[in-house]
Amino acid sequence: MRRLVQQRSMHKRQELVAAAARVFAEKGYYRTTVEDITTLAGVGRGAFYHYFNKGKSDVATAVVTEGFTMDAAVPMLPRIQSVVDASIALATLTPVVPVVKAAARLATEQDHPDFYGHLIRLYIPQVTQLIEQAAELGELQQGVDPALTAEAWVMLYSGTDQHARLDYRRLPQKIAQANTVIVRGIVTAETALKLDMSVQRGDLLVRQSRWAEEYIQGLDAAASAGSPA
């Protein structure tokens, strides 16, 4: 009985996170109200504050955490492919899965210090580690600084995300182009020949990830509405 109650509680909380994600993705943080979220979720304010007692900022934190929870990166060879894969997978998810789209928007809203830069702070250490491994494996040109390269790569992603916001459907293509620019400047010619930099790789990766079901549902919904994702 206790387990059933816990499962129902977790389900209700997830419904609120999903509703909040949809509103945040459309309106951003400051234009969203608790009433917007509760109306979409079909619950009262009391139920909302039961799960998120700090209010809107609390549920926004949950959205950012959920949206940036990706599958553990599978070490690839060349190792630099792992960085390419992480960025193109995130870019592929963002236009289609509301919680990822909302997380990306919240993390790049400069007027909200609690969330702004979250994507940068989260990914720079991970990308740095992968680029360091790539250097050790001889995949990089001489003189490439892993830490500076990681920072530039993640900052480029963040900036591209912001500029693509008017038409998020183009984000995967823009990120694929950005990846190509960075990779050409850091890897050896031999490594470059082994990399898959295509937009289509993002679709393949996402369909094999924890987000597969929501991604496919999002594509189907977009197709039904007559607007390709």
Under 8 Å between Cβ of 67 and 144: no
Tokens linked to 168:
């998020």
Amino acid at 80: I
Which residue ranges of the chain lie beneath pLDDT 50? none
Tokens linked to 130:
């992968």
- Compute the distance between CA of residue 123 and CA of residue 115 in angstroms, rounded to an integer: 14
Which pLDDT score, from 0 to 100, does residue 72 have? 59
Tokens linked to 2:
């206790």
- The proportion of the chain whose per-residue pLDDT surpasses 90, expressed as a percent, equals 66
User: HSE of 50 in the Cβ direction (CA atoms, 13 Å)?
Assistant: 11
Which pLDDT score, from 0 to 100, does residue 107 have? 83
Which pLDDT score, from 0 to 100, does residue 113 have? 67
Phi/psi-derived region of residue 217, left when phi > 0, alpha when psi is between -120 and 50, beta in every other case: alpha
Domains in the chain: boundaries: 2-61, 68-225
pLDDT, tens digit, 9 for 90 and up, residues 91-129: 999 999 999 999 988 887 766 667 777 777 888 999 999
User: Which CATH fold topology does 2-61 show?
Assistant: Arc Repressor Mutant, subunit A (1.10.10)
User: Which CATH fold topology does 68-225 show?
Assistant: Tetracycline Repressor; domain 2 (1.10.357)
Tokens linked to 184:
């050409």
Across 72-93, b (16+ Cβ under 10 Å) vs e yields: eeeebebbbbbbbbbbbbbbbb
Residues with Cβ within 8 Å of 7's Cβ and at least 6 positions away in sequence, in order, are: none
